[in-house]
């Protein structure tokens, strides 16, 4: 008798379920539940196992969707990953050091920095971007920008009084990659905003910097010597410094191509 009374309660409203899952933002469960329900019925899973299986799939997909979103927002240069990086081309930088940075959360959690120095074409941007990609794969958020571009954005924000909100937006990134810091010039732009960005993130949020100029030439970047010293102090206080002392990868690749032809 109870069978008859319970029967309608066991039926589920199959049309309403997708709506509910959508409202709860569970798209993966929406896609897989019928297949899993059939398997669960066939194999006699308990309700707990069925629910756990659905949740696990939803969470795994959610992680994946987040990574895709973080990759899109990062503006990292395409293709500059460790898969395409020839570690042997930069003997001055140990592979273990680069991969340790890529595989560790500790330095990001401490707001420590990574500074990559060396002449043009030696792979600074490529290596820094590769670390950025690896960090995103680990679930972190990274934003890549040429330093001159971000200085312009910060200045525009200062003009229309939205600097705090832009800084807050940038603050959501675990690491900000400032590419070619040495190209920012105090005579081109008011780079005091760059100092503000460095000071704002100090000991809280990481910066990854690539730069062609040694510190000795940074007085060309900041408006005055005191600000230059203060910026360097903050950047190096908790930092890994990598020196890319090698021949230009571009030039060497071109030379090898010529040799093969000749
Ligand atoms: P930098 O930032 O030091 O000026 P880049 O990272 O832009 O140099 O490198 C210049 C070019 O050479 C890029 O196309 C980069 O992908 C390539 N490249 C540089 N170093 C390497 C390397 N070790 N392995 C593979 N490609 C490299
Ligand atoms: Mg570069």
Record the pTM: 0.86
Judged by its nearest atom, the ligand closest to the C-alpha of residue 121 is: 1
Cβ neighbours for 227, distance < 8 A, ≥ 6 positions apart: 192, 195
Is the pLDDT reported for residue 25 higher than 60? yes
Whether 102 and 57 have beta carbons less than 8 Å apart is answered as no
d(CA 125, CA 179): 7
As a whole number, mean pLDDT of residues 5-33 equals 82
Whether 94 and 123 have beta carbons less than 8 Å apart is answered as no
Phi-psi region of 143 (alpha: psi -120 to 50; beta: other; left: phi over 0): beta
Question: Looking at per-residue confidence, does 245 or 73 come out higher?
Answer: 73
Provide the pLDDT for residue 54: 97
Judged by its nearest atom, the ligand closest to the C-alpha of residue 243 is: 1
As a whole number, mean pLDDT of residues 47-65 equals 96
SS3 state of residue 166: helix
* Torsions phi, psi for 175 (to 5 deg): -140, 135
d(CA 34, CA 81): 39
Residues flanking ligand 1, CB < 6 Å: 80, 84-86, 89-90, 118, 120-126, 210, 249-250
Q: How far is CA 135 from the centre of its chain?
A: 6
Question: Looking at per-residue confidence, does 11 or 51 come out higher?
Answer: 51
d(CA 219, CA 229): 9
d(CA 131, CA 126): 9
Instruction: State pLDDT tens for residues 178-200.
Output: 999 988 877 655 788 999 999 99
Where do the CATH 3.40.50.300 domains begin and end in the chain?
Answer: 77-252
The secondary structure of the chain in percent helix, strand, coil, rounded to multiples of 5, reads: 60, 10, 30
Segment among 109-118, 198-207, 227-236, 243-252 with least mean pLDDT = 243-252
Judged by its nearest atom, the ligand closest to the C-alpha of residue 128 is: 1
- State the distance from the centre of ligand 2 to the C-alpha of 146, rounded, in angstroms: 9
Cβ neighbours for 145, distance < 8 A, ≥ 6 positions apart: 75, 153, 176, 177, 178, 179
d(CA 88, CA 90): 5
Q: How far is CA 129 from the centre of its chain?
A: 8
- State the distance from the centre of ligand 1 to the C-alpha of 179, rounded, in angstroms: 13
- State the distance from the centre of ligand 1 to the C-alpha of 258, rounded, in angstroms: 19
- Percent of residues, the chain, with pLDDT higher than 90: 78
According to CATH, what is the number of the domain 77-252?
3.40.50.300
d(CA 169, CA 157): 12
Other C-beta atoms lying within 10 Å of the C-beta of residue 219: 15
Question: Which stretch of DSSP H or E encloses residue 66?
Answer: helix 47-74
Instruction: State pLDDT tens for residues 208-227.
Output: 999 999 998 998 888 888 99
Atom of ligand 1 nearest to the CA of 126: 6
- State the distance from the centre of ligand 1 to the C-alpha of 29, rounded, in angstroms: 43
For the chain, the average pLDDT equals: 91
d(CA 131, CA 113): 12
d(CA 12, CA 208): 53
d(CA 29, CA 61): 10
d(CA 45, CA 101): 43
């Amino acid at each position: 008798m109870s069978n008859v009374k319970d029967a309608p309660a066991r039926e589920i409203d199959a049309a309403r379920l997708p709506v509910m899952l959508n409202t709860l933002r569970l798209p993966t469960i929406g896609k897989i539940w019928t297949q899993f329900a059939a398997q669960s019925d066939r194999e006699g899973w308990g309700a707990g196992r069925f629910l756990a299986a659905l949740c696990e799939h939803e969470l795994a997909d959610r992680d994946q969707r987040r990574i895709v979103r973080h990759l899109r927002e990062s503006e990292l240069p395409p293709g500059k990953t460790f898969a395409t990086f020839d570690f042997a081309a930069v003997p001055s930088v140990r592979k273990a050091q680069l991969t340790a940075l890529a595989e560790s959360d500790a330095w990001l959690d401490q707001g420590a920095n990574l500074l990559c120095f060396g002449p043009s074409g030696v792979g600074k941007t490529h290596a820094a971007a590769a670390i950025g990609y690896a960090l995103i794969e680990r679930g972190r958020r990274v934003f890549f920008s040429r330093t001159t571009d971000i200085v312009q954005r910060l200045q525009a924000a200062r003009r229309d009084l939205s600097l705090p909100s832009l800084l807050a937006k940038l603050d959501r990134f675990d690491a900000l990659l400032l590419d070619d810091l040495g190209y920012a010039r105090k005579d081109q732009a008011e780079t005091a905003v760059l100092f503000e960005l460095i000071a704002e993130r100090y000991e809280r949020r990481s910066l990854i910097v690539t730069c062609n100029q040694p510190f000795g030439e940074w007085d060309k970047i900041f408006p005055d010597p005191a600000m230059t010293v203060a910026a360097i102090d903050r950047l190096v206080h908790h930092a890994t410094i990598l020196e890319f002392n090698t021949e230009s990868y571009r030039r060497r690749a071109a030379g090898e191509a010529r040799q093969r032809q000749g």
